[in-house]
Amino acid sequence: MEAFAAAGIHLQTHTLKIILPVGVSFYTFQALSYSIDIYRKKIEPTRDIIAFFAFVSFFPQLVAGPIERATNLLPQFYARRNFDYAKAVDGMRQILWGLFKKIVIADNCAVYVNQVFDTPQTQSSSTLLLAAIFFAFQIYGDFSGYSDIAIGTARLFGFNLMRNFNFPYFSRDIAEFWRRWHISLTTWFRDYIYIPLGGNRVSKAKVIRNTFIIFLVSGFWHGANWTFIVWGGFHALLFLPLVLLGKNRKNTNTIAENRIFPTITECFQWGITFLLVIAGWVFFRAKTIGEAVVYLAGICNTSFFEIPTGKKLIIRCFLFILLLLIMEWLNRNKQHGLEQMDKVKPIFRYVFYYMIVLAILLFAGKEQVFIYFQF
């Protein structure tokens, strides 16, 4: 700002926030991957400037991902595309599911989460825990909802974007969670930072170093706030035992594969992983580390068995989250939560679609800006 002041231009902090491009980190990382892959001779530089700029600024995923690789997206701008009705219909289904997750799940949960996180000292333990759980579904519905909309929209135009979420809350350990959460960013850090540092094929001391680097960088990517750094460090501590014991790729298959219900062991692993992820989300959501510590301490007090406040909103959020979990559980080995709807009889399929549309129109939460627009 001093440089601008010397030129006679007086800027305020809020002015700088306005002029900062939305989603700058997403398309910066996308452009970086193109340059790095050329340097590594994985791809040839394109001579088609229109295709290049279309790749960097492809509108569906421009502001919040997925962060595409040139090896996947750039060749699609060269190819001739014909309208594919089946892909377009599936794209519309994914868009509808993304809208439901954002407008109905995330925005409703946000109302409750904001109320509780603004006044954690006055809330009961049960209310604090419920708000933390709702934030887990808020951020998932918000971010994966955007990804579903972006991927579905791209499919309408004949483009196939990479998957960004693979039902992460069905994970059985933290390593599996990170293979399923924000996949485009996780694999970006893996391919361009973690592996060049030696990955896990070096000494244990360097494995520890590499793990902390990758998670702390991930935290810092979300913002220059100590809460994000602690969030990244917390996940590094959870991930380290798995990678040091060689168990970080233990759960690479789908939970309850070829079965309707998970085993007791899978349920236990699933529950523990989800609770650990929720603890991390408290640091992610809190404004300061102290606020996060007070929040977590509040969950552990004697008011745990009190009835949470805000019954009407709780019931609404709970019912919609239950619908989300049922649909995504049934499609947990598919690309999105409505992929198998084409196998349902038309009358039931369209009734369900209209129910989702009505839920969006009648039960939309208070409008909330996408969380990841700030990153």
What would the two tokens of residue 168 be?
């992460």
Which amino acid would we find at residue 240? L
Q: Dihedral of the CA atoms 341, 345, 350, 351 (nearest 10)?
A: -110
Q: Are 84 and 159 in contact (CB under 8 A)?
A: no
Peptide bond into 21 cis (omega under 30): no
Q: Quick one: 7 exposed, middle or buried, by C-beta within 10 A (0-12, 13-18, 19+)?
A: exposed
Angle value at C-alpha 108, between 218 and 139, nearest 5 degrees: 10
Question: DSSP string covering 61-113, please?
Answer: GTTT-----HHHHHHHHHS-----HHHHHHHHHHHHHHHIIIIIIIHHHHHHH
The Cβ-side half-sphere exposure at 317, using a 13 Å CA radius, reads 26
Q: Are 93 and 338 in contact (CB under 8 A)?
A: yes
369/360 Cα distance (integer angstroms): 16
Q: Quick one: 14 exposed, middle or buried, by C-beta within 10 A (0-12, 13-18, 19+)?
A: exposed
92/2 Cα distance (integer angstroms): 49
Clarify whether 10 is annotated catalytic. no
Catalytic residue among 10, 14, 182, 222: 222
Q: Are 147 and 175 in contact (CB under 8 A)?
A: no
Q: Are 175 and 239 in contact (CB under 8 A)?
A: yes
Give the active site residues: 222
